[in-house]
Amino acid sequence: MDSIYKTRENSMFSGFILGINLASEIMKKEKVNIEGMRMMRVGIIGIGNMGGRIVRRFLEEGVEVGVFDLNKDALESVAALGAEVVKSPAQLALHYQYIITILPNVDIVKKTLLGGNGLLEGFQENSVLIEMTTSIPSVTKELSGIIEEKGFRMIDAPISGGVKKAEDGTLTIMVGGSKDVFAEAQPLLNHIGSNIVHVGEVGAGHTIKALNNLISATTLAVTGEAMALGVKLGLDPNKMLDVINCSTGKSFSSDFKFPTQVLTRKFEVGFTLDLMVKDLMIAMNMAEEQKTPMFISSAVYQLWKHAWTQGGSEMDHTAIVKFIEEMADVEIKA
C-alpha cells in the first residue's frame, strides 16, 4: 500500500512540476509576444497610392505609425486615422526604430536618406531602414553600404499586388538583406504581406521586383495584342478569356486585369504607366550590364516607351491596352 501511495505522490508531484514548466513556457511566450507588440511601431515616408494604404493597414492592425510626406493632404488623411505626423525624416528616425520608405524614385530616396534633416541625421543605434521603393539594385547596395558604415541596418523590401492587396494585408514582399535583420523585421511585415520571401543579399529584392514587372508588362501587352486580333476576327472577348483562363495562356493579366479593368473600361489598378516604364528601364539596364540578350523584352520595352511618349505617363498601366487598340483600330470591351 505504501508503495502505491508513494507512486501516486510521485505522479502528482511530477504532474505539478510539469504544470509549472508549461506555465513558465507560456509566460515566456507571452512575454515575447508582449515585447513584440511593444516593438510594433513604424515610421513611413511616402504616403502615396500604396504608402497611404499601407499606413491604413498598419493602423487597423494596431501598429503605431509615424508619417512624413511633402503632400499635406496625404498627411492629413492618415493623421485623421491616428498616424503621428512629424516634421522631417530625421525626426521620424529619432522616434521610430523601423523606417519604411516607399517613394516614386531613387533620387528621392537618396535625398530622404542623405539630405538635410534626412534619416541619417536621426537614426539610432538599433535603426532599420526597410526600402520599399522600386529602385535600382546597384544604388540600393550603395546606400546600404553608407548606412552600415554608420552602424545602422537596411533591407530592401519592394512589394507586389496592387492597392487591393495593400488594403487586405496580402501583399507579396521580396526581401534582400541580412537574414538576421529580415527575421527581426518579419513580424512587422506580416501585418501587410501574406507572401514574404527572403531572396538574397541587399539589392536582391529590388532585382527580382524589376524582373517580375518585366514579366507582368510582357504578359499584359501580349494578351492585349492577342485579344485585339481575336476581336477583329469576330471573337467574343468574354469567351476568349473563358478559354484562355483555363488553358496554357492564362496569366494574372488575363485572369484579373482584363476582366476587371479592360473589358469594363475602368483602367484603374493604381499603378501608373510611368512607374511601369521606370521598372522596365531598370530591368533593361541590368540586362545590358550583364550582357544578356533580351529580344522579346526589348520589343515590349519599346511598346511601353511609345505609350509613355504619347502622353500616357500618368495613366494607369493597364491603359497600355488602349494604345494597342488604337494601333489595331479596335476596342476590347464586354
- 44 in the Ramachandran plot: left (φ > 0), alpha (ψ -120 to 50) or beta? beta
Q: Which residues are catalytic?
A: 209
Report the candidate in 133, 151, 138 with the shortest Cα–Cα distance to residue 202. Answer: 138
* DSSP reduced 3-state for 124: coil
Antiparallel, parallel or unpaired: β 171-176 and 159-160: antiparallel
Alpha-carbon distance 218 to 294, whole Å?
12
The number of beta carbons lying within 10 Å of the beta carbon of residue 17 is: 10
Gap between the Cα atoms of 91 and 103, Å rounded: 18
Query: In Å, how far are 96, 129, 187, 238 from 92, measured between CA atoms?
Result: 6, 12, 20, 50
Cell reading at 252: 494574372
Longest dimension (CA), the chain: 99
Could you please report the per-residue DSSP string of 10-41?
Answer: HHHHHHHHHHHHHHHHHHHHHHHHHHHHHH-E
